[in-house]
Amino acid sequence: MNTQELAEKIADSHGIAKSEARKLVDSVIAAIGNAAAAGEEVNIQGFGKFAVKSTSARTGRNPRTGEAMEIAAGRKVSFSPAKGLKDKISA
């Protein structure tokens, strides 16, 4: 499912215009992205948690040449599903 399909489902289930639903979906995604950029954790009850984690610098290999190279430290967003979501998936 992509963003447009999600907006269409929301519009159909709540009886609102697809353009309005798309704005709502975009604003939720933007809010999660802004919180992640600020290093904040986003916890959506029943769905899961988005958290920013730091990665340390390490030595890797260039897959094309096999040459060793340094990979810089950075940050990444991780997602941990809530129990409710895990139960839906495994059912």
Q: What's the mean per-residue pLDDT of the chain? A: 95
Return d(Cα 46, Cα 56) in angstroms, integer.
Answer: 31
The model's pLDDT over 71-82, given as tens digits with 9 standing for 90+, comes to 999 999 999 999
Per-residue pLDDT tens for 3-16? 999 999 999 999 99
Residues 79, 49 contacting (CB under 8 angstroms): yes
For the stretch 23-49, pLDDT in tens is 999 999 999 999 999 999 999 999 999
C-alpha 25/C-alpha 2 separation (Å) is: 11
Contacts of 77 (CB under 8 A, 6+ apart): 36, 50, 51, 52, 53
Tokens of 80: 């941990």
> So what's the pLDDT on residue 91?
75
Q: Determine the pLDDT at residue 19.
A: 95
- The domain locations on the chain are 1-40, 41-91
Class of domain 41-91: few secondary structures
CB atoms within 10 A of CB 26: 12
